[in-house]
Structure 1
């Protein structure tokens, strides 16, 4: 397998450089070698070489996933999933034959799928307050970057709605911006509007019973994921370039996965949370969503402390037992995406899976207890204000005893020590960001809850340990996006963001 993939990537480098001699080298020098694209079929090595010389290069693209099938000895079929800069997706399938000189391409087929036409009609379930609410200064690294702010952050002159109309009616008008909002504005960003959230941010579905379900343009008819549903939908639609959001148990990572976006959950405590309505402060973080990894990295710089020690990611780790938590099609796409990465990858048994049920239970106990501590008085004073599923999560927190909370906190303390040993500086643990693609918007509640529970087993690792995680839209299940999550050591946010951006370096078709 290694020599085949080495040949494949050598061919990709030749494409990127438009190195005609090298391209001729990798195609089998035979009269029946094939290359097909659209309705055009080229037969023979000489005809393919003439085509290469005449077309003058090809559009820039990135290879996102690589699939390999070995149907017979000395024969391999390699299919690469690609994306061009304009959003067009394509497939390149090659039949490789092992000769005395090594692997050579005996047949190739290239296809492209047109990028979807953007829908510019605003979804009223996305915005609670449409803007712009603050114009860009025109200066700074984020000059003119349109930013959607989740309706948990204070925005001067506005109220925090928290995804619930009863909460909104009782909220005061904010006199100052939340710290994270102010930092983005100071870097030149434009505040495009206040985007909806799930009720009090205690959900992963993005289905708000009061304001509706935002449309997911990356997966029509399916949910966006929550609780950062509004910012995710705004960025996915192209109505905003950047989403300022929160992640407690996966509320950035899940929408990023479902909507085909890049998402960043920072090291706990690395970004400012002043002026943010809390859910569970031991796990709450302020992070970002974007459609471009370079913008995500630039915007993160406005929120991160200047003192972070930088150790670049030089190695990747995959634990098969953790990957098994995802659905079979997700696992297959995950393996294909791993083949398209350019860093050494070690397959190890971290031992995390054997503890995961206990860790997950402790995390849910501690999160629910803190959520009740934050909002229990308000919920008690406003019976019936919350949707039944959200109310049930808070009620679980109400019933957590002091002894149960102390025991959960001890389990989480032990878990952090284990995970700190797994992801040392310079290493990233790769996982599927969610257990599957986005559920259908009309799925029954019990199905959505089952998907939520399965996904939380993947997302809770970064949350319970306070570790940084970056999601990239590198997996595909049929036509639906699923994110690949890179989990790093605490305090290595910049390195993790750089790894994500650099892993998408373009090649040529």
Structure 2
């Protein structure tokens, strides 16, 4: 009796321990730091006393802010996202010019926030300081490089925060954390007192949860004269850019379209294929290697810009920091190590071509936008991926992200990230881009449109549940079309993958099973092909192609009698079908 119960006791004990471990793991996941892991240092820099009346109070009175650990603060070492950098550098002897301007403007600085390691990533995950917790989606990345600054605002720990946007360091985490993010025109805000990453792209930007605060900060930092607000007369939806987004187009563009029409009229709206426009207006781009456009001609210009941006960023980063890296040999994330440990020197002709592309792109966008236009694009290509997801390492993901952020980074135009609520419980956003120097106009446009955008985004969210089926069916059909393209290109495995995606989204469509069966036949997976055809026939009893393909699969499996029945039934449905007649006759002569 004792011996027979012993194994059961061990099983129960094992299950109990497993349960405890699972509960502990579950409990650990729920523990979130009080500051969401956003800060590396906390302190207070208080503003000067308010001026006596009748002088106006400071413009930022009562606001608190944090700064990314790229800005010098007197008495603190600027950490640059790496403990070895902090260990080998002295404390700053003065405070960054922009930080001083904000404090003088009445705001209180309360600390420094986490950045990606050496500000070189885009996920916001720093293995030395941890990944700040995305308050809206705790299991998802906050986005980089200025992850902590975005999280501090999203968690309402501060009213606004400062970051440095090189290739998306402000815009991307703003999109992933559901806050406003502003990248001003290149050169519009002082760079004095910040650690350089890539000097051709580095731009001081800022985050806020309230567009009015975003604008107030802009009034202090941009130092542009007050002027009458101007309505946009040219709102351009970049249709090809929205094809890069995994969020259904209507979820994003319809909010903007409805707001624009209600505020300014339909005549203001335009649609543009931005990649084609850039290709026609930026001749120097043709000299770039566009082979990495993944064979998709539609996005070749955008992806060529993305490739160029990554190349220049790496070159300039090495120029700024290679000597330190080579002498200190810091422990660097393997994903970054390969890019920064090898010295890179671009030829002068490549640098000259880059300068030409930059100038031509700025001129092309300024010409398209003039003084009263904005381009609308998705801020990021997808909702925030999971922490540590393999997707973050894929070339496709990086190219899509940089294809969207490269427009403003390379042209130097200003861009604002605008949150539009949630899609499947994750933050989504769009971005408005205005011409270089159009910062005040862009902030004014956001201020004018914000209430309407918010209203339409809320209505879109409320109606989402009733349109989920339609959205899934549309997405399934898009996956099927991708499968058809892969099939035509004889890329059978990719075709199977896309058809499988379509089936997951809509398992009641016979065509998806039938098409996947055709791909399975091409790779010799006859059992799978037969099963898919049977499912297609269950869904559509008159599907001639399904009978023909199942007959073929059964013939290859040696089920000749069943194959003959399939071909004959196809003939009943379609008496003139020559393939069905020939196959039925051939098998009948051989096996009956």
- State the TM-score, normalized to the length of structure 1: 0.72
Change in CA separation of 1:187 and 1:205 when aligned onto 2, cut-off 3 Å: same
Deviation for aligned residue 1:409:
3.0
Specify the SS of the correspondent of 1:503: helix
Indicate conservation of the 8 Å contact 1:420/1:489, yes or no. Answer: yes
Are residues 127 and 190 of structure 1, via their aligned partners in 2, closer, same or farther at CA, if it must alter by over 3 Å?
Answer: same
Correspondent of 2:37 among 109, 113, 125: 125
On the 8 A contact 1:369/1:405 being kept in 2, the answer is no
State how 1:105-124 maps to structure 2 within 5 Å. 121-123=33-35
> Is 1:165 matched with 2:61?
no
How many residue pairs end up in the alignment? 391
Aligned to 1:345: 269
Partner of 1:496, secondary structure, is helix
Q: 1:501 to 1:449 in 2, by over 3 A?
A: farther
Output aligned runs, 1:98-497, within 5 Å: 121-123=33-35, 125-134=37-46, 137=49, 139-306=57-224, 312-327=231-246, 329-342=247-260, 343=264, 344-350=268-274, 351-352=277-278, 353-395=299-341, 398=344, 400-444=346-390, 446-447=392-393, 450-474=396-420, 476-497=422-443
Most deviating of 433-442 and 304-313 = 304-313
CA RMSD of aligned residues (A): 2.5
Contact 2:305 2:403 in 1 (8 A): no
Q: Return closer, same or farther for 1:189/1:136 CA change in 2, 3 Å cut-off.
A: farther
SS in 1 for 2:428: strand
Q: Indicate if the aligned counterparts of 1:161 and 1:167 stay in contact, CA closer than 8 A.
A: yes
Q: Is this contact kept in 2: 1:156–1:177, CA < 8 A?
A: yes
Q: Is the 8 A contact 1:262 1:473 kept in 2?
A: yes
Q: CA deviation at 1:232?
A: 0.5
Unaligned runs of 5+ in 2: 1-30, 51-56, 279-298, 460-592
Q: What TM-score do you get using the length of structure 2 for normalisation?
A: 0.62
Shift of 1:389: 1.4
Give me the whole-angstrom Cα distance separating, in 1, the residues matched to 2:86 and 2:414: 31
CA shift, 1:401, in A, is 3.6
Whether the 8 Å CA contact 1:149–1:245 is kept in 2: the answer is: yes
Distance 2:407 2:356 in 1: 15
Alpha carbons of 1:446 and 1:225: their partners in 2 closer, same or farther (altered >3 Å)? closer
SS in 2 for 1:340: helix
Which structure exhibits the higher relative contact order, with contacts defined as CA atoms closer than 8 Å and separated by 6 or more residues? 1
Does the CA-based 8 Å contact 1:433-1:483 persist in structure 2?
yes
CA contact (8 A) 1:368 1:397 kept: no
Deviations 1:304-344 (A, max 9, x none): 033598754232001212221212x2423112322332343
**Equivalent residue runs for 1:21-170 within 5 Å:** 121-123=33-35, 125-134=37-46, 137=49, 139-170=57-88
* CA shift digits 1:403-454 (9 cap, x unpaired): 4333333333333332222222100000000001111113126546643331
- Structure exhibiting the larger radius of gyration computed from Cα positions: 2
Aligned to 1:481, what secondary structure does the other structure show?
strand
- Distance, in Å, in 2 between the alignment partners of 1:299 and 1:419 is 26
Q: SS in structure 2 opposite 1:153?
A: coil
Structure number with the higher helix fraction is 2
Choose between structure 1 and 2: higher strand proportion.
1
| CA distance in 2 between partners of 1:293 and 1:466 (Å) | 22
Q: Which moved more, 1:421-430 or 1:313-322?
A: 313-322
The 1:449/1:212 distance shift into structure 2, 3 A limit, reads farther
